[in-house]
Amino acid sequence: MKVEKLKKEFPLLKNKIFYLDNAATTQKPESVINSFKKFYESTNGNAHRGLYSVSQAATKILDESRETVADFINAEKDEIVFTKSATEGFNLLAYALESEVGRWNHVVTTELEHHSNYVPWQQLTKRTQAELKIVKYDSKKNELDNFSEYVTKKTALVSFTLMSNVTGLMPDAKEIIKKIRAENDKIIIVVDATQAIAHIDIDVKDLDADFVIFSSHKVYGPTGVGVVYGKKSLLEKLKPFLFGGNMIQEVKEYESTWATVPDKFEAGTLDVAGIFAFAEALRFLNAQDSEEIRNYETELKNYALSKFKEVDHLTVLGHTSKNYGPIISILITDLHPHDLAEICARENVCVRAGHHCAHPLMRRLEIVATTRISLSFYNEKKDIDKFIECINKARKIING
Amino acid sequence: MDELYREVLLDHYKNPHNKGIILKPHIHKDDHNPLCGDMIEIFIRLKGERIENITFEGKGCVISQASASILTEDLKGKTLKQVQDMTREDLLDLIGLQLTPTRVKCAMLPLSAIKKGIIEYEMKK
């Protein structure tokens, strides 16, 4: 793959930086950055509000961008709800779905989840007095327990990730969803695609989840934009989460009625400039050869794994099969993740140290922190080599 | 290479002062940094209002453990009031470091544990 050429599209990467924290946020191509200027210079108006040209233009841009996002995951345009982040998306659902969860019901999530796909459900069960069932992560087999042990006729909702932000593990989502449906076809299924969206092709029709959540900034778009995909029939049924402008059909003195979907869930002025820039990021990706990108990311991942094997006292979490994305957490016996990440930072090697907002998984693994690298198509083998160099350097500095 | 991991600090990390436990301490408090899991356990023996002996047990990064070593060394003989008045800046001056906000939390872990321990002790009195 012509990484050098692709990398040139990302202005920040022109600096001497070894950016290996793509699971935290990705860098942005120039076209995405420029789209903000383009939007504010020529089409800035409040979408849906004015009859004058710039408001009309903003409305058109919002509409077209929604279509671009929908096409990216093979959804329909009005099945796409914009939020400010994936986290807000999970909270939106946890409130909107409250009416679907009774105190005799079970809500199922897993130990593999990021806090954003865990705490909203935990709190939902507190509000509704439903029971929270947590699918265990088997740290010996490096996989989630069988969902069928947790899913019953009492289950109202299941939510799980397509790709762990800590280990990169990709549960077999299609198979899991099929089994859940077979057990109980009334269950609402939510999947967290926040990490997966940048690394695998997602077709919501093929996947058959009811809701799919992700954010723009983890897939080369700007911060401040999240997406909730929802099956239209469900979106129509659910109550709104935020109230205010744009989501209204009519406000009477003591009662209100709601706009149609997706507007019903989009109270307040949206970040239209951000949404436009996000659509630009997806256009950028659509213009690449996605198979080539996927293959290259896998090649990089395998290179990193082979390099890690050569380092003494280093353990990789998981990665015992092919079902992993390019996210790798490591533990080094004689190096604290913070010390390693700090010494990396001095060399402008950007890696992540900590619990990665995944306390339940950390507890299951009986660890408190890892050092994580997460790769993108603009990374090169030399980025990984540099990280290995930092490990050796840190070892020399700290352990003498 | 840089001052963060300079010799004196690494020496405190590798050969910590005042590491160990005190039997029957007046003040005993453990604390941890949820961000990175660093742990600290503080033991204080008093003579009147002054710290007669202070030790710690802990596990964590260079900064948190070296900070505990340096801080416990400094606090011997000080009054509880003096310890409570100690600010973040005082601590950073003491260990002689400029830290990023994330790492300040590492350095502050021992001091915050000690202060919490003192508050608990005062409340019990």
Look at residue A349 and tell me whether its pLDDT is greater than 90: yes
Residue A51 clears pLDDT 90, i.e. is over it: no
Instruction: Flag whether pLDDT at A353 surpasses 80.
Output: yes
pLDDT at B1 over 50: no
ipTM of this model?
0.81
Is any Cβ of chain A less than 8 angstroms from the Cβ of B8?
no
pLDDT tens, residue by residue, A273-289: 999 999 999 999 999 99
Which amino acid appears at position A342 of this protein? E
Q: Does B37 touch chain A (CB under 8 A)?
A: yes
Residues A113 and A154 in one domain: yes
pLDDT tens, residue by residue, A122-154: 999 999 999 999 999 999 999 999 999 999 999
Q: State pLDDT tens for residues A289-314.
A: 999 999 999 999 999 999 999 999 99
One domain, residues A281 and A329: no
Name the B residues in 57-116 with CB < 8 Å from any A CB: 60-63, 102-103, 106
CB pairs under 8 A between A and B: 48
Strands (E), chain B: 27-32, 39-47, 50-59
What string of DSSP letters covers A162-184? SS-TTT-B---HHHHHHHHHHH-
Q: What's the Cα-to-Cα distance from A294 to each of A73, A174, B22, B43, rounded to whole Å? A: 16, 19, 57, 54
Instruction: State the average pLDDT over residues A64-92.
Output: 98
Q: Which DSSP category does A379 fall into?
A: -
Rounded CA gap, B64 and B107, in Å? 5
Fold (topology level) of B3-124: Sufe protein. Chain: A (3.90.1010)
Q: Are residues A156 and A257 in the same domain?
A: yes
Entry pTM: 0.92
Q: With respect to residue A93, please indicate whether it lies within any of the assigned structural domains.
A: yes
Q: Are residues A256 and A111 in the same domain?
A: yes
Q: State the nearest Cα–Cα gap between A193 and chain B, in angstroms.
A: 24
Residue A346: its chain B contacts at CB < 8 A? 1-2
> Could you tell me the two tokens for A42?
């020529």
Instruction: Give a yes or no: residue A396 inside a domain.
Output: no
Q: The CATH number of the domain where A253 resides is what? A: 3.40.640.10
User: How close B109 gets to chain A, by Cα (Å)?
Assistant: 14
Q: A360 preceded by cis ω (within 30°)?
A: no
Residues of B in contact with A339 (CB under 8 A): 5, 61-63
Going from the C-alpha of B89 to that of each of A142, A376, B75, B119, the distances in angstroms are 45, 40, 15, 21
B1, B61, B98, B99: best to mutate for the A interface, most A CBs within 10 A: B61
Q: A138 and A279: one domain?
A: yes
Task: Mark whether A344 is an active-site residue.
Answer: no
Please indicate, yes or no, whether residues A262 and A298 belong to a single structural domain of this protein.
no
Tell whether A199 and A223 lie within a shared domain. yes
Average pLDDT, rounded, for chain A: 96
Span A238-251, average pLDDT: 94
Q: Single out the residue of B41, B39, B32, B44 nearest to residue B83, CA to CA.
A: B44
Instruction: Kindly state whether residues A213 and A298 are assigned to the same domain.
Output: no
Asked whether residue A399 is assigned to any structural domain, the reply reads no
Say whether A338 and B61 touch across the interface (CB within 8 A): yes
Phi-psi region of A244 (alpha: psi -120 to 50; beta: other; left: phi over 0): left
Q: What is the CATH number of the domain that holds A357?
A: 3.90.1150.10
Based on its alpha-carbon atoms, the radius of gyration of chain A, rounded to whole angstroms, reads 22
Q: Structurally, how many domains does chain A consist of?
A: 2
pLDDT digits (tens, 9 = 90+) for B26-51: 999 999 887 777 889 999 999 998 99
Q: In which domain, by residue range, is A340 found?
A: 3-28+290-391
Query: Which percentage of chain B shows pLDDT scores above 90?
Result: 70
Q: Which of A344, A350, A357, A390 is catalytic?
A: A357
Contacts of B16 in chain A (CB under 8 A): none
pLDDT digits (tens, 9 = 90+) for A362-400: 999 998 889 999 999 999 999 999 999 999 999 998 887
* Closest residue to A398, CB basis, from B37, B62, B103: B62
Residues of chain B with pLDDT > 70, as a percent, come to 97
Which among A337, A367, A398 has CB closest to B10? A398
| Pair (A19, A142) in one structural domain | no
Nearest to A270 by CA among A20, A39, A59: A59
Q: Is residue A397 part of a domain?
A: no
Give the pLDDT score at A2. Answer: 84
Query: Could you give the maximum distance between any two Cα atoms of chain B, in Å?
Result: 48
pLDDT band at A270 (very low <50, low <70, confident <90, very high): very high
- pLDDT mean over A247-256: 94
Mean pLDDT of chain B: 91
Domain-ending residue, one of A271, A286, A301: A286
